[in-house]
Amino acid sequence: MGIRQFLDIGTGLPTADNTHEIAQRVAPEARIVYVDNDPLVLAHARVLLTSTPEGVTDYLDADLHDTDAILRDAARTLDFDRPVALILSGILGHLADYEEARAIVKRLVDALPSGSHLVVCDGTDTDETLNEAQEHHNEGGASMYHLRSPEQIAGFFDGLELLEPGVTPCSRWRPETSTTGVLTEAHAYSGVGRKP
């Protein structure tokens, strides 16, 4: 059986096809915990709490640095004896220190049982124009983002078995060309790793 539990940290504002909507379309019994530290996301969290009757969704107002609190409170909804998909999409770049980001990912993955999966999607430093724009943005000091190399993104999966096609530009990770049309090169990379 596939993964039925999801821990989505750095949820962002609700949009079309939120994690629980996609997961519960496939498996109505799926259980999802969303985590974000932005009061604006909290204000819109009710949109994320529209679970199927068979499943559950919960929202935690918590900071990624506080892995103990996240794991403790997520355990109200998720069974950490069964595999969990940990989703870190567009959040790790908010951590300035790469080694700190790796340590946080490791703490979270260490708490998950074998068969769990890590999903990472993050901006990369693979385009000079984007790098300059990001630098300019970061000079403003608000909501800074740190673009990393594809190798650094791959480093988050140390100790895990990478699923095919590995760590690739997001637009090339198993694209459904029927819905996305022509592929463009994304300067964000993603990967999925399985905990042995």
Binding residues vs ligand SAM (CB under 6 A)? 10-12, 36-38, 41, 63-65, 89-91, 94, 121
Name the residue nearer to ligand SAM (CB basis): 64 or 108.
64
User: Which residue type is seen at 143?
Assistant: S
Rg (CA), the chain: 17
DSSP state for residue 59 in the 8-state scheme: E
Closest residue to bound ligand SAM by CB: 12
Name the residue nearer to ligand SAM (CB basis): 140 or 196.
140
Q: How far is the CB of 160 from ligand SAM (least distance, A)?
A: 20
Name the residue nearer to ligand SAM (CB basis): 82 or 94.
94
Name the residue nearer to ligand SAM (CB basis): 18 or 115.
18
Q: How far is the CB of 1 from ligand SAM (least distance, A)?
A: 25
Q: Which residues of 76-115 are buried (b: 16+ CB within 10 A; e: fewer)?
A: ebbeeeebbbbbbbbbbbebeeeeebbebbeebbebbeee
Q: In the structure encoding, which two tokens stand for residue 195, read together?
A: 């905990």
Q: How far is the CB of 102 from ligand SAM (least distance, A)?
A: 15
Contact in structure between 159 and 126 (CB atoms under 8 Å): no
DSSP state for residue 80 in the 8-state scheme: T
Q: How far is the CB of 89 from ligand SAM (least distance, A)?
A: 3
